Structure 1
């Protein structure tokens, strides 16, 4: 790296000598590389989540969208979910594994943080899991043969088409941020959200997922108005 910088400095010294540039940036001790631009990913409203789910071609895909948005699972965790991980009587879902196929081969392993977490499900999702899905496989969201789905295939054949049909522009991972914001709107603390989503560090929760939902500013102003009126 130092040798590369030295070569670049000598090249740019020639450019300064030829008046092509005013200053050699390699000579500036305080110079910093430009920061990578931060992409502002979307956060879906509850209505957009419902529209996206309705646009899915199959009942299992519709439930999968709701699990991603209302439970906040990573897509690999959702695709690795087994029926033995779901307790509808207790209304809980336990995340133990994750699946990935980035190498061209389906690999089932631990979660990103190597931790197991149990999440309490909302009643509506308990009903969807209990009545809306067949139990023809040990997996909650299997492929046609009962095995693990490949994310890229599901994204291409189902997710992308549903986004186009519903007009919702988002990636599956955006539903984790959506879940975080829904939890915050419901009164959850950052620590609650951290445990719900399975982050190792609460700063990850605050930095990446505590975004502001469009229209949230209006909601807050309305609440402030109510407090001001109450105070007289």
Structure 2
């Protein structure tokens, strides 16, 4: 491929031949800079881009590209809840700041300023990291599609996630909540059932709502976590679990087996009681036989668990700041305090990365280290308490 540079007026231009198109030779010529050296550098970069199939965006803005990426890539390949979440980030934080910038002109400083603007809005570190993740993912795709030559996100620091300390209940506190429920009222009965399932299995609320009777293996004391009942963009949807690792099989206790069998009997009686008025739960043309239903068969809305839990704690004037999701953390904390291995906890919770488990429960890990240190010290001292230095104060 041949090319060169030339000066026109006070500006240097570069040009190169790209072969014959329709019997005519095709030449690309662009402005290269104010000096001959700048034009030569621009020529070399242009030839590399052309040879690697790079396509220079014409008049596409960042906002135009993101809308296309969202509709044609994210919507087609990711969970619908992810699509809605990304759309909110783009609508509220990305487009107002960099949406009108030409895609070919996007620079690291634009991303940096966008993050700083979001930070001034008092968004959490976790949210800022998610915002960065959305734009970084979008621009990575743009590089693969060869509509930009480089991802500007890689030149700025990724926002740090807030250090998370799990809020947990004691066994006594959990039992106090359980005892406050009146099982003669079906709403309380159903919520108590959900509490018992979550405290033993550590499920997310969507996983709880998506449980079907076919997921329970009574003979082998197992339950398969496969569905996720979620509320997004104004409607309830059924989908797969949050990650591949979240689809898992959990061992369940004799007590939970008994509770589930009793619930199945109650549900069957309600089917007879309501007859043709008993509601079938159909999503995407498929009928789901949910465990968690109201008396008339209708699924329990995912938001109910959150709101009901909050109302109970408010009525009890509970001092701790606890969410329904924190029952999942309580489950893991109780297991860890009983000496259950972190790897087992990771599997039970459905974490894709054990570091997620270790980071969330680091405070309990320190307690476990203390026990381990004391045991090691006992071994090193021959099983006797380590003598203290008489001169120590």
Listed as ranges, the gaps of 5+ residues in structure 1 are 7-31
Deviation of 1:54 (Å): 2.3
The offset of 1:52, in angstroms, is 1.9
Give the 4+ runs in structure 1 shifted more than 6 A. Answer: none
Residue 211 of structure 2 is aligned to residue 78 of structure 1: no
TM, length-normalised to structure 1 = 0.73
Partner of 2:236: 106
Q: CA deviation at 1:60?
A: 2.2
Q: Which has the higher contact order (CA 8 A, sep 6+)?
A: 1
Give the structure 2 partner of residue 139 of structure 1: 290
Give the deviation of 1:145 after TM superposition: 3.4
Seen in structure 2, the aligned counterparts of structure 1 residues 67 and 104 have a Cα distance that, compared at 3 Å, is same
Greater Rg by CA: 2
Deviation at 1:165? 3.7
More off after superposition, 37-46 vs 120-129: 37-46
CA RMSD of aligned residues (A): 3.4
CA 1:60/1:201 → structure 2, altered by over 3 Å: closer, same or farther? same
The residue matched to 2:195 in structure 1 has which SS? helix
How much does 1:132 deviate?
Answer: 4.7
Q: What's 2:249 paired with? A: 118
The Cα of 1:141 is off from its aligned counterpart by 1.0
* CA distance 1:3–1:37, shift in 2 (3 Å): closer
The aligned counterpart of 2:348 is 196
Q: Do the aligned partners of 1:43 and 1:177 also contact (CA within 8 Å) in 2?
A: yes
In the other structure, the counterpart of 1:27 is none
Aligned: 1:160 with 2:310: yes
User: Structure 2: which 5+ residue stretches go unaligned?
Assistant: 1-97, 99-108, 114-156, 183-187, 272-288, 385-393
Match of residue 148 from structure 1: 299
Question: 2:309, 2:293 → 1: CA distance?
Answer: 15
1:56 corresponds to: 181
Q: CA deviation at 1:92?
A: 1.2
- CA shift, 1:113, in A, is 0.6
Report SS of the residue matched to 1:124: helix
C-alpha offsets along residues 127-179 of structure 1, whole Å, 9 cap, x if unaligned? 222225522472111134313222223432x2122222442641111111111
1:42·1:170 contact (CA, 8 Å) conserved in 2? Answer: yes
CA offsets 1:65-104 (integer angstroms, 9 cap, x no match): 1211210111100011111111223211110100111211
How many residue pairs align between the two structures? 205
Q: Normalized per residue, which structure has more strand?
A: 2
